[in-house]
């Protein structure tokens, strides 16, 4: 089953709508609550990243029999140094993002912690693509 | 402690999901930083925060945190109340600082998560 969500840049009042909607789907499918929590924490961190740092993007969630695959794709501006971005505490967040309670440089690390696999590719031309796999 | 007991001890006001005032809480976590809250994993928790925006509720929704204390005499926004009510999340508004609210709950036996 595939679920797709468009994510608007900079709109913090809607940040989390996609994660909330996908959580409801997972609950309806009776997925283990601990696994749901891991999925939605990783997804929500990623959704907030698109809202906070990108020009906008899209989230595609695929539910398969043994895993959930999530692709978070934005349209730019890209992450210049992924290794640096993965370091806990490193952040390029604006004061507006920090006012919302984010921007501590913990998001990507937390996504990685909650996923069974995470893959990031990024360029200035194509934006950032984060793929998460969480086993069911 | 029940939500009702917590609200009384903090001279607070329960402003939504009032039907769950008998819910029991064992642990608490105090933070204004939702990035940090998203790294915790605990049951029967109450979040003590001074951050009043809709992301506070969204963060709690993702973590299955069903109880929030808003400190420093801040008020939940209408959007927060609506979203909290939808998710059966209780909000207590309290006039005390985060330090004082945390201290009172600690004295009453509420445990830290680490």
Which of A15, A16, A106 minimises the CB distance to B39? A106
Say if residues A105 and B36 touch (Cβ distance below 8 Å). no
Set of chain B residues whose Cβ sits within 8 Å of the Cβ of A53: none
Helix or strand (DSSP H, E) at A7: strand A2-7
- At residue A119, what are phi and psi to the nearest 5 degrees? -135, 130
Spans in chain B with pLDDT lower than 70 = none
Spans in chain A with pLDDT lower than 70 = none
Containing structural domain, residue B11 = 3-108
Cα nearest neighbour of A16 on chain B: B58
CB contact under 8 A, A102 and B62: no
Structure tokens, A98:
């920090």
pLDDT of residue A62: 98
* Residue closest to B6 by CA, chosen among B82, B81, B67, B87: B67
pLDDT of residue A70: 98
Interface of B to A at Cβ within 8 Å reads: 32-39, 41, 51, 53-56, 58-59, 61-64, 79
Q: What is the ipTM of this complex?
A: 0.94
Examine residue B19 and state whether it is found in any structural domain, yes or no: yes
Which of B36, B51, B61 minimises the CB distance to A106? B36
pLDDT of residue A29: 97
pLDDT of residue B113: 95
pLDDT of residue A21: 98
Which of B39, B56, B79 minimises the CB distance to A13? B79
Name the domain count of chain B. Answer: 1
Domains of chain A, earliest start first: 2-135 (3.30.565.10)
């Amino acid at each position: 089953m595939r679920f797709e969500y468009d994510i608007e840049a900079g709109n913090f009042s809607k940040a989390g709508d996609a994660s909330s909607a996908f959580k409801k789907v997972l609950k309806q499918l009776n997925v283990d609550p601990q696994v749901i929590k891991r999925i939605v924490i990783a997804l929500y961190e990623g959704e907030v990243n698109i809202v906070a740092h990108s020009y906008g993007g899209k989230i595609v969630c695929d539910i398969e029999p043994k895993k959930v695959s999530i692709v978070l794709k934005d349209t730019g501006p890209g992450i210049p140094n992924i290794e640096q971005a993965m370091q806990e505490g490193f952040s390029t967040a604006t004061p507006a993002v920090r006012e919302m309670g984010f921007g501590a440089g913990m998001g990507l690390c937390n996504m990685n912690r909650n996923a069974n696999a995470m893959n990031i590719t990024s360029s200035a031309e194509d934006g950032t693509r984060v793929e998460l796999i969480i086993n069911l | 402690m029940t939500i009702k007991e917590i609200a009384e001890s903090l001279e607070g006001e329960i402003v939504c999901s009032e039907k769950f005032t008998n819910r029991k809480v064992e642990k608490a976590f105090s933070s204004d930083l939702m990035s940090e809250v998203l790294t915790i994993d605990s049951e029967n928790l109450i979040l003590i925060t001074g951050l009043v925006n809709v992301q506070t509720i969204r963060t709690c929704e993702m973590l299955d945190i069903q109880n929030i204390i808003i400190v420093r005499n801040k008020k939940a926004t209408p959007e927060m109340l609506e979203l909290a009510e939808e998710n059966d999340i209780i909000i207590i508004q309290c006039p005390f600082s985060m330090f004082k609210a945390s201290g009172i709950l600690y004295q009453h036996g509420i445990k830290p998560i680490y």
